[in-house]
Amino acid sequence: MIANIRTAMRAQGADAVLLTSQANRRYVTGFHSTAGVVYISEKHAVFLTDFRYIEAARQQVSGFDVREPGDGQSYAAVVNKLLQSDHVHTIALEDDSLTFDDYTDWQDKLTAKVQPQRGMMKRLRAIKTPQEVEQIIAAQRIAESAFLEVLDDIRPGVTEKQLAARLTYLMLYYGAENMSFDPIVVSGANSSKPHGVPSHKEICDGDFVTMDFGCIVNGYCSDMTRTVAVGYATDEMSAVYDTVLRAQKAGIAAAKPGVTGKDLDSAARAVIEDAGFGPYFGHGFGHGVGLYIHEDPTASPRSKSTLQAGMIVTAEPGVYLPGRFGVRIEDMLYLTGDGCQNLTESPKELLIL
């Protein structure tokens, strides 16, 4: 990990990097902290954190010199000493997570020339290590257990909010440390809003219920969506569901290293367009998942990503008929040497409860 950062650092013409965001600190040290900075140069790899974390960090973090700035010193003061002893001319900062105010503050305080990282950490984080994939799978299995169990609760009279609460409870019960995001549970006409908010609306016979949810294990997110019908599904509902499922399968079949995010999106979009629902698929096919719920790569008509082995990308096409109903089905794919492994095991044939 540190070696990869040094390689990327050299490629950008920087002599050191400073990692300030919670996610990047956790990514490189494996340690969760709400405060601290990571300094990496050719000679040093230092994790600076405060009194609240220092004891645990010293026990758990390996590969880094773990220090606490003493005597009321600021992180900047300690970093400046390192910059001096390492003869650093240029240090790269996290321009994609620091506020403008924080960025200029570091710039003012540090004695070396500051330059933006320009997506360096994003690109590194897009390729998952086997250990990261393990955490994502663990989070996914918890979400799947919750899905299986929440199916028993979906019946006329129960509200979207109650189902969202139940999903949250079940994921925590099965060991999640938190939700990846607030679960989306939308039904009937509400299901035409891709990111609708669960309401007090009761589930009715003839509703589609779309549930988009995920949880966090050791900092890593999972993400899945399933749409089920309650009581019955009209021929039109079945046709839309079948279209979305075929589109998702076409996308999954196309997912392999070397394919662009744009082409991956097109593989699924073509199925939806051929079925006449093109205008009703208004978002991208997928996104990366990791320490954040949305990471690189992206798979959409505007994507600039190219898929590489080790990336994770979601497969989540949908069709949304305004004021009527919507369907989305989402799995997480792990890109391997010659294709992909679907990390989602929940069934996705149309379920009528």
Q: Residue 324 and residue 68: Cα distance in Å, rounded?
A: 58
Residue with Cβ nearer Zn ion (192 or 225):
225
Is residue 314 a contact point for Zn ion (CB under 5 A)?
A: yes
- When asked if residue 223 is in the footprint of Zn ion (CB under 5 A), the reply is yes
Q: Which is nearer to Zn ion, 158 or 293 (CB)?
A: 293
Show the tokens assigned to 215. 């949880």
Q: How far is the CB of 138 from Zn ion (least distance, A)?
A: 17
- Whichever of 40 and 327 has its CB closer to Zn ion, that residue is 327
Note the Cα 84 to chain centre separation in Å: 37
Distance from C-alpha of 67 to C-alpha of 75, rounded to nearest angstrom = 10
Shortest distance in whole angstroms from residue 72 CB to Zn ion? 44
Q: How far apart are CA 129 and CA 342, in angstroms?
A: 17
Shortest Cβ 213–Zn ion spacing (Å): 7
Looking at the Cβ atoms of 160 and 223, the one nearer to Zn ion is: 223
Residue 27: CB minimum distance to Zn ion, A = 20
Stretch that binds Zn ion, among 10-18, 85-93, 191-199, 205-213 (CB under 5 A): 205-213
In whole angstroms, how close is the CB of 182 to Zn ion at the nearest point? 11
CB under 5 A: which stretch of 15-23, 60-68, 97-105, 204-212 binds Zn ion?
204-212
112-171 residues in contact with Zn ion (CB under 5 A) are none
CA dihedral 8, 14, 15, 18 (to 10 degrees): -80
| Sole window of 165-173, 239-247, 273-281, 313-321 interacting with Zn ion (rule: CB under 5 A) | 313-321
CB of 214 to Zn ion, least distance (A): 6
Whose CA is closest to 187, among 198, 177, 173?
Answer: 198
Q: Is 49 in the site for Zn ion (CB under 5 A)?
A: no
Instruction: Enumerate residues 6+ apart whose C-beta is below 8 A from 250.
Output: 267, 268, 270, 271
CB-based contact 148:123 (threshold 8 Å): no
CB 105 within 8 A of CB 82: no
Query: Which stretches within 42-87 are classed as H helix?
Result: 51-60, 75-85
User: Considering the complex, what minimum distance in angstroms separates the CB of residue 346 from Zn ion?
Assistant: 13
* Nearest distance, CB of residue 45 and Zn ion, angstroms: 33
Judged by beta carbon, residue 117 or residue 227, the one nearer Zn ion is 227
Binding residues for Zn ion, rule CB under 5 A, total: 5
Q: Can you spell out the DSSP letters for 88-135? A: -SEEEE-TTTS-HHHHHHHHHH-SSEEEE-TTHHHHHHHB--HHHHHH
Pair 210, 225: CB distance under 8 Å: yes
Instruction: Say whether residue 29 binds Zn ion (CB under 5 A).
Output: no
Using the minimum distance from each CB to Zn ion, give the nearer residue, 114 or 307. 307
Range 320-349, binding Zn ion (CB under 5 A): 330
How many angstroms separate the CA atoms of 113 and 292, rounded?
A: 30
Among 160, 212, 295, 296, binds Zn ion (CB under 5 A): 212
The footprint of Zn ion (CB under 5 A) covers 212, 223, 225, 314, 330
